[in-house]
Structure 1
Amino acid sequence: MKRRHFIRNTALGTLTAAVGTDIVFGRLIPEGYSLLAMQDPDPFTLFSKDREMVILNDRPWNMEAKAHLLDDKVTPNKYMFIRNNGLIPEDIDVKSWTLTIDGEAVKNPKTYTLAELKSKFKSHTYQLTLECGGNGRSEFDPPAKGNQWTVGAVSCATWTGVRLRDVLEDVGYTDKAIYIGYHAADVHLSRDPGKEPISRGAPMAKALQDETLLAFKMNGQDIPLAHGYPLRLVAGGWPASVSGKWVQRISVRDRVHDGSKMTGDAYRMPCNPVAPGEKVKDEDMCIIESMPVKSLITYPRSGAVIKEGRKLNIRGHAWAG
């Protein structure tokens, strides 16, 4: 016990010296709690992110950009938001990585290695917008639970991969197919192997679009680990939760996928407008699909002091599902 107190007090002392002031309520920090500022490597280095990025959570990791960081037409990795539901997988072996296509509406389930996906199917590259379904949540009134995203949980990178449609057609699916669901290698926060942190999906119409990819490159390079290396689903324009990372299995369902974060009020909203805080019956809730039109001013940056009378070229982006 004394040794743990010594370690905690030493860490607080180091942090106090670094910031030049006392850490308020530092004595109340729980035993074993890892301070973000004391992690080695720190999250910005770990994920190759700009130090102006904002950390909302570290278990799981959730990080967003400030508006002015999103000025580029193609979002570089250092400014891309991170949204996780579980723990990032460890010890990934690309050579042994496989993708299995199965489900009630598959004729003959198949498993592909990553090398087979790349060699058997034609690769395509698209610039696609991914946005967390909760982007802007901090502005809700009344407040909504969950990560309090401001405006930076959105990105528009180039993604390279094979069309999910081509793989599904190679496997073969029946006329009963109405939905796909993904299953991934991330780990539940409890580390219970029987629980999936998230397993969402999309109707077949979305799964079969040209731009819906099983991607292995982002901005021309291997996808960074935090963004789904070595293989992820990319379904642009829909909540980014549909674009599952670290994908190992796609199930073709004869029903709406019922995986983790697909039921209850997860990524669902009232089918028709209701008063704030009003209770809504389950059958009156609809799954969020195509995202609404949104826009963002990226220049000048928020808080900038502009000389009176100066003319400005205002920059920003607009996007939709």
Structure 2
Amino acid sequence: MRSKERGLFELYRDDPERADALVFNRRGLLKGSALAAMGAAVGGAIPFSGNMPSGYVPAALAQGAPAGAAPKVLKMDGKADLVILGDKPLVAETPEHLLNDDVTPNDKIFIRNNGVAPDPVSSPDSWEFTVDGEVNNALKLTLGEMKKKFQPVTLALQMECGGNGRSAFEPKASGNQWTNGAISNARWTGIRLKDVLQAAGLKPGAVYTGHYGSDTHLSGDATKPAISRGVPIAKAMEEHTIIAYAVNGGPIPQINGAPLRLIVPGWPGSTSQKWVNRIWIRDREHDGQGMGGTSYRVPIKPMVPGDKADPKNFRILESMPVRSIITNIANGTELKAGTRQVGLRGHAWAGDHSVRDVHVSADFGQTWTTAKVGKAANKYAWQTWTADLKLPDAGYYELWVKATDSNGRSQGHAPGHWNPQGYNGNAMHRVAVLVPA
């Protein structure tokens, strides 16, 4: 009895070489029957099918999920429908179409825990915070005292997990399989870390910070931090690195680090310690939990994808790469019949740098339209972009977006520089839409 052929989604997931053989001819063009099958799979004709590269998997298939594998949605008071990537510890990302706000509201800030979150405190102003180590005057202050002693500042700041975009790597890298939703751009209120460090008086030997929080290690070992990362003194003294006690004009959500957390914008979110209660000033590079091996480290020289890592070839991940997302249209959206032009909107950001250009395409990258890129509210805030694209006929389209930073570095079709834990995965964002006939 002849077995039933698998659908395109299952075929590309389970047997990509067979899928390519069935779908593309020797010149890399879609076979007639395969084009019809792919059109049926995505729900309509593909007007720009001639521009599809050999072996290309449409976004509707690549980002979809087989039956019975729908994303697990977070159900938590005070949070939107985030997608759960892990339960222990809790990790949840914000779908791109929920990130359309200029300023990310509290309910849409992603969640990345490393250990067990502490219980909420009844009196936030009594929270104690310590600065010690390579300082002339060790400080131990309550949050209430800090508010009185130091000048407050409010800034719109991007905060992004180091593994954002990890799911695009092939072969798969270890860790939570983030798509593009490990990002937020909220308005944080707090105290500049440099003001606190200046009050403590840095010694000449001060080189690095070590951050500690009150969350506990998953093992339950109270002597082992859940995570303890740090940054060079120069980044700690940067004007936009703050110790935050409020967000968007109100208390920080407990799950996002209340009552006190660091915000180290442009760098991996793991440096923005939640529930922070101590900063240890070091005379050397910090060696806390999450600072060794390949943890938050990327290759100096490119490595063969899937190969064994050489620890000597790795450096600490610092500034995050350029990235852009479409936020006003969700992947898989069916537009109104007769739609021949679509307005796009989204955000772009580039770690320590700014965004120079954003381009969008509806014909698989054959042509690109320049988007209008707005100014950032302040340094380290994302930049909002808008653009219009023409659609010549009914059918299946992919809306692509790519950004270029102020140093001329651009997003690619796939993430470059494979690494075991999937950092810097900034492949361009693709959104599939269908215009009914």
The bucket for the TM-score relative to the shorter chain is 0.7 to 0.9
Q: Deviation at 1:206? A: 0.6
1:9-64 superposed Cα distances (whole Å, 9 cap, x missing partner): xxxxxxxxxxxxxxx9xxxxxxxxxxxx9xxxx95234x1113x101112111001
Q: Given the alignment of the two structures, is residue 121 of structure 1 paired with residue 150 of structure 2, yes or no?
A: yes
Q: Deviation at 1:300? A: 1.8
- For residues 217 and 329 of structure 2, the distance between their equivalents in structure 1, rounded to whole angstroms, comes to 40
Q: Deviation at 1:279? A: 3.0
Structure-2 residue corresponding to 1:232:
261
- For residues 178 and 281 of structure 1, the distance between their equivalents in structure 2, rounded to whole angstroms, comes to 26
Structure-2 residue corresponding to 1:111:
140
Q: Given the alignment of the two structures, is residue 45 of structure 1 paired with residue 76 of structure 2, yes or no?
A: yes
Greater mean alpha carbon deviation, residues 84-93 or residues 57-66: 84-93
SS in 1 for 2:331: coil
**C-alpha contact 2:74 2:83 (8 A) present in aligned 1:** no
Structure-2 residue corresponding to 1:187:
216
Superposition map of 1:143-292 within 5 A: 143-292=172-321
Which TM-score applies when normalising by structure 1?
A: 0.84
Q: Deviation at 1:309? A: 3.6
1:83-130 superposed Cα distances (whole Å, 9 cap, x missing partner): 000011015242431100011x11221101101110000000110101
Q: Given the alignment of the two structures, is residue 299 of structure 1 paired with residue 328 of structure 2, yes or no?
A: yes
- For residues 338 and 283 of structure 2, the distance between their equivalents in structure 1, rounded to whole angstroms, comes to 62
Q: Which runs of 5+ in 1 are unaligned?
A: 1-23, 25-36
Inter-CA distance 91–151: structure 2 relative to 1 (3 Å threshold): closer
Greater mean alpha carbon deviation, residues 249-258 or residues 302-311: 302-311
SS in 1 for 2:325: strand
The equivalent position to 1:320 in structure 2, one of 350, 361, 368, is 350
Name the amino acid aligned to 2:209: I
Q: Which runs of 5+ in 2 are unaligned?
A: 1-67, 352-437
**C-alpha contact 2:128 2:141 (8 A) present in aligned 1:** yes
Structure-1 residue corresponding to 2:393:
none
Q: Which has the higher helix share?
A: 1
SS in 2 for 1:186: coil
- For residues 76 and 262 of structure 2, the distance between their equivalents in structure 1, rounded to whole angstroms, comes to 25
Whose Rg is larger? 2
The equivalent position to 1:60 in structure 2, one of 80, 89, 96, is 89
**C-alpha contact 2:120 2:254 (8 A) present in aligned 1:** no
- For residues 289 and 190 of structure 1, the distance between their equivalents in structure 2, rounded to whole angstroms, comes to 28
- Give 4+ residue runs of structure 1 displaced > 6 Å after superposition: none
1:126-162 superposed Cα distances (whole Å, 9 cap, x missing partner): 1010111111111110101111111111110010000
Q: CA RMSD of the aligned region, Å?
A: 1.6
